[in-house]
Structure 1
Amino acid sequence: MRVSLLQMAVNTAESPESRREAAGSLVRDQNGADLVVLPELWPVGAFAFESFEAEAEPLDGPTGQAMSAAARDAGVWLHGGSIVERTAKGDLCNTSLLFAPDGELAAVYRKIHRFGFDRGEATLMVAGEEIVTAPAAGTVLGLATCYDLRFPEVFRRLLDAGAETIVLPAGWPAARGGHWRTLAIARAIENQAYVLACGTAGTHAGVEQNGRSLIVAPDGEVLAEAGPGQEVLTAELDLKRVAAYREKFPVHKDRRLF
């Protein structure tokens, strides 16, 4: 499986429409990939809290429509990163969208762990409640977002739900870039799964972004890693490697639950 992580530079001075056009162009350039991944909240900016309310949209809003068309035009599975979703109840959620190569919406994941403690995302958005996996591109994808990375129990539940490849879009601050790399590798090792961690570049509302997207194999080998700027990170994944490594080193057979 060929995967491409689109580490976009998000400039919050640009309009969301211009970013949708840029993202769509990048996706279409990946014709020949099997799976393409965008970062967290790229239409708005992960730290542009003051814009969340105004830029919130439904699942079939302008971003969903644009990414559906891009997936269909490129003929790829597209994890469209995440949007600020306004639900039917009027709540805001940090919501990831997965599109099939025909443009159909295949899965939706609402971020469970909201960052910010007593401000920002943590107070503006409602937490998701569902673990989400989806068969795609010959593997089973497990969906998580950014701050979820710090909570290994989410990934254990994804493992138990059959995940073989975990997709993690993020808007991770450069100030904690070391945590990002360490935790992404740890989640791959402990769950014996591929981890596709796609971050943003640039600056969101004064917060410098880490970038440094990475693709990690089930044994913890870093197959590809980006720098801090805008970049397309591509790698070929041997999907048989997950089952082979789990059989070779069957650590999960020794799990004990208390």
Structure 2
Amino acid sequence: MRASLIQIDVDPGESVNSRRERAGSLVREQRGSDLVVLPELWTTGAFAYELFGDEAEKLDGPTARAMSEAARDAGVWLHAGSVPERGEDGVLYNTSLVFSPDGALAHSYRKIHRFGFDKGEAVLMGAGDRLVTVPLPELTLGLATCYDLRFPELFRGLVDAGAQAFVIPAGWPERRRAHWTLLARARAVENQAYVLACGTAGTHAGVEQAGRSVVVDPWGEVLAEAGAGEEVLVVDLAPGKVAETRATFPALRDRVL
């Protein structure tokens, strides 16, 4: 199973429409992969709070339409990162979109843990309230977003729901880059699952992004890691390695809580 992580540069000098078109082109270039992943809030930037309301979309908005076409053209499962969604209730959500190879919106996930400590995303956006898994032909994905990575109980819940790999789009800042890599490996080791963590590059809203998208296997080995700039990671996964790891080192069996 081949996965492509697109670590796109979120440049405030580039319009949202231009970046949307460019992301679609990058997705189309990944034809031959099974799964393509984009980062969190790549249309606006995860720290560009003032743009969230102006650029908020419905689930059938311009980003969804563009990514649906890109997924269909490339013939891939596309985790299109997340967008600021305007819900039917009028509330803003940080919502991930997953498209099937025929371009259908197969799943969406509203970020549960909002970052900001009583400001920014934490007060501007509502919280999701459900875990989401996506059964692909070879692996079942569990969805999480950026700050969710710091809450291991979410990932335990996803494992209980059948997840064998976690897809984590993010807009993680450079100043906490060490935490990003450490936590990605920890979530892989403790859950004996693949981690595909896709971040943004560049600087937006004055916040330098870490980049460093990473793919970790169920034993905690880093299979590929990006640098700080715009980059595409292409990694071949062995779906059977999840079951093999869980069988040969059955730590999950010994859970008490």
Bin for the TM-score computed over the shorter chain: over 0.9
State the shift of 1:14 in Å. 1.6
Equivalence for 1:148: 148
Query: Is 1:27 aligned to 2:30, yes or no?
Result: no
Calculate the aligned-residue CA RMSD, in Å: 0.5
Unaligned runs of 5+ in 1: none
Equivalence for 1:88: 88
1:90-139 deviation digits (Å, cap 9, x = unpaired): 10000000000000011100000000011100000000000000112411
Question: Contact 1:80–1:97 at 8 Å: present in 2 too?
Answer: yes
TM-score normalised by L of structure 2: 0.99
| Aligned-partner Cα distance in 2 for 1:67–1:10 | 17
Question: Contact 1:35–1:137 at 8 Å: present in 2 too?
Answer: no
| Aligned-partner Cα distance in 2 for 1:204–1:122 | 18
Query: Is 1:184 aligned to 2:179, yes or no?
Result: no
Equivalence for 1:114: 114
State the shift of 1:41 in Å. 0.1
Q: Tell me, what secondary structure is at the counterpart of 2:241?
A: helix
Question: Contact 1:95–1:110 at 8 Å: present in 2 too?
Answer: yes
Equivalence for 2:174: 174
| Aligned-partner Cα distance in 2 for 1:208–1:99 | 29
Q: Tell me, what secondary structure is at the counterpart of 2:128?
A: coil
Question: Contact 1:12–1:48 at 8 Å: present in 2 too?
Answer: no
Unaligned runs of 5+ in 2: none
Give, as a single letter, the amino acid of the residue that structure 2 aligns with 1:14. Answer: E
State the shift of 1:146 in Å. 0.1
Aligned length: 257
Equivalence for 2:199: 199
State the shift of 1:174 in Å. 0.2
| Aligned-partner Cα distance in 1 for 2:134–2:224 | 24
| Aligned-partner Cα distance in 2 for 1:44–1:64 | 14
Q: Tell me, what secondary structure is at the counterpart of 1:89?
A: coil
| Aligned-partner Cα distance in 1 for 2:12–2:36 | 23
| Aligned-partner Cα distance in 2 for 1:221–1:173 | 23
Give, as a single letter, the amino acid of the residue that structure 1 aligns with 2:53. Answer: E
Question: Contact 1:34–1:137 at 8 Å: present in 2 too?
Answer: no
Equivalence for 1:49: 49
Give, as a single letter, the amino acid of the residue that structure 1 aligns with 2:21. Answer: E
Give, as a single letter, the amino acid of the residue that structure 2 aligns with 1:255. Answer: R
Question: Contact 1:77–1:137 at 8 Å: present in 2 too?
Answer: no
* Residue correspondence of structure 1 range 158-169 to structure 2 within 5 A: 158-169=158-169
Equivalence for 1:15: 15
| Aligned-partner Cα distance in 1 for 2:144–2:118 | 22
Question: Contact 1:78–1:99 at 8 Å: present in 2 too?
Answer: yes
State the shift of 1:184 in Å. 0.1
Equivalence for 2:36: 36
Query: Is 1:244 aligned to 2:229, yes or no?
Result: no
Poorly superposed stretches of 4+, deviation over 2 Å: none
Question: Contact 1:6–1:232 at 8 Å: present in 2 too?
Answer: yes
Percent identity over the alignment is 67
Question: Contact 1:192–1:219 at 8 Å: present in 2 too?
Answer: yes
Question: Contact 1:7–1:211 at 8 Å: present in 2 too?
Answer: yes
| Aligned-partner Cα distance in 1 for 2:21–2:2 | 23
Q: Tell me, what secondary structure is at the counterpart of 2:10?
A: strand
| Aligned-partner Cα distance in 1 for 2:121–2:94 | 8
State the shift of 1:13 in Å. 2.4
| Aligned-partner Cα distance in 2 for 1:157–1:204 | 33
| Aligned-partner Cα distance in 2 for 1:24–1:185 | 29
Give, as a single letter, the amino acid of the residue that structure 2 aligns with 1:149. Answer: L
Q: Tell me, what secondary structure is at the counterpart of 2:202?
A: strand
